Structure 1
Amino acid sequence: MVKWSVKLSKYDIKYEPRFAIQSQALADFVVDFSDDLRVEVKIEAKQILEKENMGRWRLFTDGASNQKGTGLGIIVKLPQGDILNQEISCEFSAANNETEYEALIMGLQLAKDLRIKDLQVFVDSLLLTNHFNGSYVVKGEKIALYLQILKNMALEFETFSLNRFLEKTMLRQML
């Protein structure tokens, strides 16, 4: 445990011991996920995915980088209002503009894996949105590669739009 504690300390993660689960909670869990219900769960999941793909999904991404590392944030809002969150801690260092691209590309990969067809994307990077729509000239080979990956991935959706949210309060309103 000490080895893990030392390794995780650089990520500001602290170990907290797990307390015993009351027997009724464990029994409820087993009943909820018994083999008899698996068929029903698969049918329900299929119906939900088919219905959700009929509407517009929203993807919100943000990337940040500092001395401690690189982090990516991804939020997917389903058409009926449910929200999926994904935070990714990267083991590489990158410039802030690169992390914005990394977050967006990871978000698009998640959307592709979910078989989303109609996607509206929001990022807080003015540079990224203007690179995508052609308003800004791309400088640097690495950013040009990121932009090409982004454009190729955008073509995989039936409808795709990339927008910029201006501030965190605007993001809260859109969610």
Structure 2
Amino acid sequence: MEKLVYALILATRKLRPYFQAHRIEVRTAYPLRHILHNLESSGRMLKWAIELGQFNLEYCPHTAIKGQTLADFILEFDSEVDDKAIVLAEPSSQGNAPAKVREEFPYPWWILHVNGAVNNSGAGAGIILVIPEGHHLMSAIQFKFYVTNNDAEYEALINGLKIALEVGVVNMITRIDSELVVNQVNGGFQARGPRTELYMRCVQHLLRKFGSAKLEGVPREENNNVDVLAKIGSQMDSVTLGQIPLGIQEIPSIP
């Protein structure tokens, strides 16, 4: 991550007049905005955050994660994670040749906390993605369309899973305090109504994209932090959450 920030610093220094005169979009799969505005930043990262703060930079996510971006992301965490934790597999160039036997190493497990909220002010979702090293990446989303309580839980779950897939997570444990959603997705309860069934199938489709994925129900008190994010996101006047990015979703995730 420091290499990416340092490259951005070098660009601002070499092209300082241009950066001062224009608004610059920085497209990256890394959560740079959250990291640079983290109140706990210190040392070089804090110094760089102050230096970049004088420019009009807008950090935007990639529309789709590329192979090299994923490789760079994995290499970034390679210094902090056991070197056997992550393995990149390359497809065989020989069509009918037998696959080479290779030793399999376990991928690290990430933890995703999600929650949806609906109240008199509006509706929103809270998302906290916990990376293997324990760092928390937080986000809130405000829904600009009508949702029920159940819809909001599903929307929060879908958005959280999409974020995890975008950054290349392989093994995921997802925790939500809606037992109804957990049982519908896991097959314990039947989805009632076509809208709920569409949401359920969408989540099941996303879960199948992971190497391994578990959806667990947790008590509300164990999901308190993400519940607060969801309630803040639901406020109609939530323009900014300070250090936490706020997304605006105009349309549902299902037809």
Give unmatched runs, 5+ long, in structure 2: 1-45, 53-70, 87-106, 226-255
- 1:65/1:93 contact within 8 Å kept: no
Are 2:58 and 1:30 equivalent residues in the alignment?
Answer: no
* Number of equivalences: 138
Contact 1:56 1:120 in 2 (8 A): yes
Superposition deviation, residue 44 in structure 1: 8.0
1:140 aligns to 2:168 (yes or no): no
Letter of the 2:116 counterpart: G
Alignment of 1:51-70 (within 5 A): 51=81, 54-70=107-123
Give me the whole-angstrom Cα distance separating, in 2, the residues matched to 1:163 and 1:127.
11
Q: Percent identity?
A: 27
Q: Give the distance between the partners of 2:180 and 2:141, measured in 1 at CA.
A: 22
Q: CA deviation at 1:109?
A: 0.3
How do 1:84-103 residues align onto structure 2 when only pairs under 5 Å count? 84-103=137-156
SS at 1:146 equivalent: helix
Moved over 6 A (4+): 25-28
Q: Deviations over 1:26-67 (max 9, x none)?
A: 888439xxxxxxxxxxx9855234547531000000001122
Match of 2:183 in 1: 130
Deviations 1:107-144 (A, max 9, x none): 00000101000100000001000101211111011000
What letter is aligned with 1:147? M
If each structure's helix is expressed as a fraction of its own residues, which one has the higher value? Answer: 1
Q: 2: distance between equivalents of 1:28 and 1:128? A: 40
**Quick one: structure 1 residues 79 and 98, their matched pair in 2 at CA, closer, same or farther if it must change by over 3 Å?**
same
SS at the partner of 2:155?
helix
Give the letter for the 2:132 counterpart.
P
* Aligned: 1:117 with 2:170: yes
Q: Is the 8 Å Cα contact of residues 57 and 79 (structure 1) preserved in structure 2? A: yes
Aligned CA RMSD, in angstroms, stands at 2.8
User: Secondary structure, in 3 states, of the residue corresponding to 1:89?
Assistant: strand
Structure-2 residue corresponding to 1:14 = none
Kindly indicate whether the alpha-carbon contact (under 8 Å) linking 2:124 and 2:143 is maintained by their aligned counterparts in 1: yes
Equivalent position SS for 1:57: strand
**Cα distance change on mapping 1:45 and 1:132 into 2, 3 Å:** closer
The normalised TM-score by structure 2 is 0.49
Partner residue, 2:207: 154
Could you tell me how far apart the structure 2 residues matched to 1:154 and 1:162 are? 9
Q: Are residues 1:77 and 2:130 paired? A: yes
Give the match for residue 75 of structure 2.
47
Inter-partner Cα distance in structure 1 for 2:49 and 2:173: 39
C-alpha separation between the residues in 1 aligned to 2:48 and 2:184?
Answer: 54
Larger RCO: 1 or 2 (CA < 8 Å, sep 6+): 2
**Is the partner of 1:48 in helix, strand or coil?**
helix
SS of aligned partner of 1:102: helix
Say whether the 8 Å CA contact 1:73–1:86 is kept in structure 2: yes
**SS in structure 2 of the partner of residue 149 of structure 1:** helix
